[in-house]
Structure 1
Amino acid sequence: MIFLSLILALNLACVEKKSNENETNKPEWVMTSKSDSLQFSSGIRAIFQDSKGNYWLGSHKEGISFFDGKTFEYFTISQGLADNQIRSIQEDKKGRIWIGTARGVSEYNNGTFTHYSTNINQPEYDWSKTNGELWFNAGEEDGINRFDGINMHYLIFPKPNNTTADNSYGVTDIAKSKDGKVWIATYAALFNYDGKQVSIYDAERLNLKRDELLHIRSVLADSKGRIWIGNNGIGVLLMDGSTIVNFSEKHHLIHPTSTRRGDKSKPGTLEHVFAMEEDADGNIWFGDRDTGAWKYDGKTLTNYPISDNLSNPMIWTIYKDNKNNLLFGMEDGKIFKFNGKTFEKQFITLPSIK
């Protein structure tokens, strides 16, 4: 029993690596499975098309899939990923793919995985002392990860003065505006970093009512400099210069009987916004947990149910690819493309007609 306990302790110690002690899985260790159609069923949380045109599709529980236009290749913790829940996918200037998971970051380069875990024991408070264009979720902690090309830094959020033990500052989304600022959505506040200092947008600064709860799930910096803030309960907030309004409420998309919490919304409402994107024509798209997709063209809002059956699964993510196609990742593991009028299911092999 003593020997077994020592073995277990050593195994656990090897799992949690410091950011400076990165774990690398070599190509010969990686055994992947392949298919001719996307096989995920647990939900699509991230979609990314790299500079070579390949697609990387991140799931909620089943790891990540690489699609080269012909076949799908799958990677999970068994093949080297840090975790099977994928939260973000990026590419750096050298063509390396960076995968943010629920338990640290995995870098994929020529068949090799290198892991970078969040080291909360070495927090940094002065953000200006770090650099790097890659930002990542740091789990449910009170900070964010920034990679400088060598090390992964854990940067602490300057919390609002009115914070309570119930406030959570786990990162839910990250957006970069055209002026170079980084907008970081957390459940309890929105943070903005301009390269020198961090600004806080909490419930008070965002003009929330006393009975409203800030629960941010998405953020979008559009081409006009506006900041869209998607919430789980109170819909969309819009920051346009110094003006902040509840966009959903302004357009009568919060039901009169709504609790403005996490309850299921009625049809025709925009209360639980987990994903947002701007298309090539400047339209703003919202993915609602309960009511499908919404398009705002600057004047009119149009609601689209996305489904191939009677159900209306939640939209986890909306992504604009290299050809300006708008892709919608769904809770049921499917991906749809908007063709200008309707939604077409993607990444499937249709049976040939003989």
Structure 2
Amino acid sequence: MPRAHRVAVLAIDGVYPFELGMPSRILGATEGLYEVLTCSVDGRPVRTSSDFTVAVEHGPELLSTADTVVIAPFAPPPDDAEPIVPELPEPIAEAFRQIRPGTRLVSICTGAFVLAAAGMLDGRPATTHWQAAEPFRRLFPKVDLNPDVLFVDDGDVLTSAGAASGVDLFLHLLRTDHGSEIANRAARRCVVPPWRDGGQAQYIESPVPRTTQDGTAAARQWALAHLHEPLVLADLAEHARMSLRTFARRFTDEVGTSPGRWLTQQRLARARHLLESSDLPIDEIAGEVGFATSTSLRQHLHAAIGVSPLAYRRTFRAARA
């Protein structure tokens, strides 16, 4: 049996307990594919953002043995100062020198500040919690920050937004490493969705006043049941009993993306599920999910994930076998 992929989680003072346990909870739901271990910069107990400390079994030497290193997020200092200065504090820098070249790096939320301060995000796309976007940009102008997404996969460096977006990222890692079947199984065990559509924009506090109407949720639910139909914005607006302009504005405010883009995302999600779980011809799948032709499905899927329907099916049906 091949050696389990070793994941070292680095806990820094002020660490958020929920996110600290996230790699073990998600990756550990795969029956031995990953070995998840936790360390601190000096091997000592770590103060959390709550009213307790955590004892860790390992010091920074663990980082030299890891295939993937995860930087867990931590709370800003009590005076609401920026989470970290542009240069790493020496204890963290010393720990980072233990990481082998080629190790996959992952950050959750404010953990991106550590990667950026280490110079590992210069010239690369990344994300962090939307509330930290302004200080992040000010401290690290060389980073191509996108605060609108749940996570960014840039190959050997991956960053995620706040809190639960770490779940999205680790399920994405599972899907990348071992295919959708294993990722979906882990998601079911953890009682979380295997993926979420939209980005951080749907969670950002907005000054737009809320009304007593039900919003666009019912229209979205209706659209999901009618994806096979040639839906347009007017259909959804009519179902929500709103004008086109009001519906488009409310939809974007609630979901974080436009109605048209959301429909495409839902159709692609349904198509990917059918490609993984059925033997339906590509033409038939296109019709089932509301694309006018198989060519349209191919174009949209390639634009979204860079592969054709046949290539996607070969990859993920093989992963299920």
Fold agreement, TM-score > 0.5? no
**Higher strand fraction: Structure 1 or Structure 2?**
1
| Structure number having the greater helix percentage | 2
TM class by smaller structure: under 0.3
Superposition TM-score, scaled by structure 2 size: 0.27
